[in-house]
Amino acid sequence: MTSSHGRGPRTADVSSAVEAAAEALTALWDRTQRTPKTRVSPSQMQALAIVERHGQINLNGLAAELDAIPSSASRLCDRLQAAGLLTRAASVHNRREVMLALTRDGRALLAEVGRNRRQALALILGDMSPAGREALLTGLAEFNAAAHDATSWERRA
Amino acid sequence: MTSSHGRGPRTADVSSAVEAAAEALTALWDRTQRTPKTRVSPSQMQALAIVERHGQINLNGLAAELDAIPSSASRLCDRLQAAGLLTRAASVHNRREVMLALTRDGRALLAEVGRNRRQALALILGDMSPAGREALLTGLAEFNAAAHDATSWERRA
DNA sequence: TATTGTTATACTCTATAACTATA
DNA sequence: TATAGTTATAGAGTATAACAATA
């Protein structure tokens, strides 16, 4: 038992555990994102994921989500389009806007990466005890909520 | 209480929590790494961190740790050296080898980023309940151990 | 000859600035 | 004129291939 006389474990200990987890997760994400079939960069994968999440999104919207400027997003789309993973089409309502959509290959790629990621994660979680998984779920639920609050607080400032 | 009749929470639920945490951590890492003073890229920060961790390391060693090829590492070092964050010096024992070391500025930059990161993390952890922190520490300890095992298993394969 | 780095070249990512087309 | 994108240009990250220096 740690020193939990009312205030729980030392922040430094939890902090170290989170930093170690961050390192492991980064490695896992990188690894599972690198598919041998289609070679797409992390930026390209992120862009595809954003387009999938939004369904219909224009180029400026994508740039905002990427935290990049439109010209960078445009170049990314050039390559994704050339790779056959994404399409550009003028909006019917406003011919200035370019609506982005995934191709069948784009959707398949995202699905494959997601599958790899969940599999790799399941392998790790499967090596944990039921009590460990329970603790992880409980702890992460609170952590995610707190991280979300801290982030939205920063957005306001 | 979740459905823990002996086998703990559903893997999918834990998996989702881990994925959400990974997203939050990535955002936090990116944000705290971007210092307004010296503008260094994520790759450069990673290289500096590796050099600090190893104390004395040559260029091929750095490349291996970066999971990159020597020429890429050499180019990275060009820029870190130009920025005054790192020094190159021929090894006294083997004049082929180039030993890398951080400058005072390089060490200061790493320290600042680490400080920012721990502060941001402390803010989140401070918003959690003592029980939540306890659960997080317990869960992550097992998770990190399992992730470590899975990784070393892959290295063997 | 093998090892350690660097340089030449090329492609992606990103940004700034200038430009086109639409509203 | 304001907005949505694209293109020109440039610097950084990365890889392959060719090269130099040392062992």
Write the CATH number for A101: 1.10.10.10
B117-156 residues touching A, CB cutoff 8 A: 117-118, 120-144, 146-151
Clarify whether residues A118 and A102 are in a common domain. yes
Q: What is the mean pLDDT of residues A1-5?
A: 44
CB atoms within 10 A of CB B16: 17
A156 confidence band (pLDDT: 50, 70, 90): low
Could you read off the pLDDT of B5-39 as tens digits, one per residue? 468 899 999 999 999 999 999 999 999 998 878 88
Could you tell me how many helices (H) and strands (E) chain A has, helices first? 6, 3
Q: What residue is closest to C3 (Cα–C1')?
A: B96
DSSP code for A34: -
- The beta-strand segments (E) located in chain B are 57-58, 86-90, 98-102
Signed CA dihedral, A140, A143, A147, A148: sign only: positive
Residue A94 tokens read as 């406003």
CB A133 within 8 A of CB A125: yes
- Domain annotation covers residue A70: yes
- One domain, residues B110 and B151: no
The answer to whether residues A89 and A117 belong to one domain is yes
Quick one: B134 and B122 in the same domain?
A: no
pLDDT at A36: 73
> In terms of domains, do A102 and A47 share one?
yes
Is a pLDDT exceeding 50 seen at residue A3?
no
Q: Are residues A146 and A85 part of one domain? A: no
Same domain, A79 and A149: no
What is the per-residue pLDDT across B71-127, written as a single tens digit (0 to 9) for each? 999 999 999 999 999 999 999 999 999 999 999 999 999 999 999 999 999 999 999
pLDDT for res A1 = 47
Taking CB atoms and an 8 Å cutoff, what residues of chain B touch A144? 17, 20-21, 24
Cross-chain CB nearest to B133 (options A8, A29, A124): A8
Query: Which chain A residue shows the shortest CA-CA distance from B144?
Result: A21
Closest among B112, B106, B122, B115 to B53, alpha carbons compared: B106
A118 and A56 in one domain?
yes
Interface contact flag, A137 B26, Cβ < 8 Å: no
What are the tens digits of pLDDT across the range A101-131?
999 999 999 999 999 999 999 999 999 999 9
Residues A46 and A121 in one domain: yes
* Angle, CA A131 vertex, CA A128 and CA A135 arms, to 5°: 95
pLDDT of residue B6: 67
Instruction: Confirm whether A8 is domain-assigned.
Output: no
Average pLDDT of chain A to the nearest whole number: 93
Contacts of A130 in chain B (CB under 8 A): 4, 6-8
CB atoms within 10 A of CB A130: 13
CB atoms within 10 A of CB A30: 11
| Domain, as residue range, for B61 | 39-126
Q: Is A112 domain-assigned?
A: yes
Domain tally for chain A? 2
Cα B126 from chain centroid (whole Å): 22
Length of chain B: 157
Examine residue B101 and state whether it is found in any structural domain, yes or no: yes
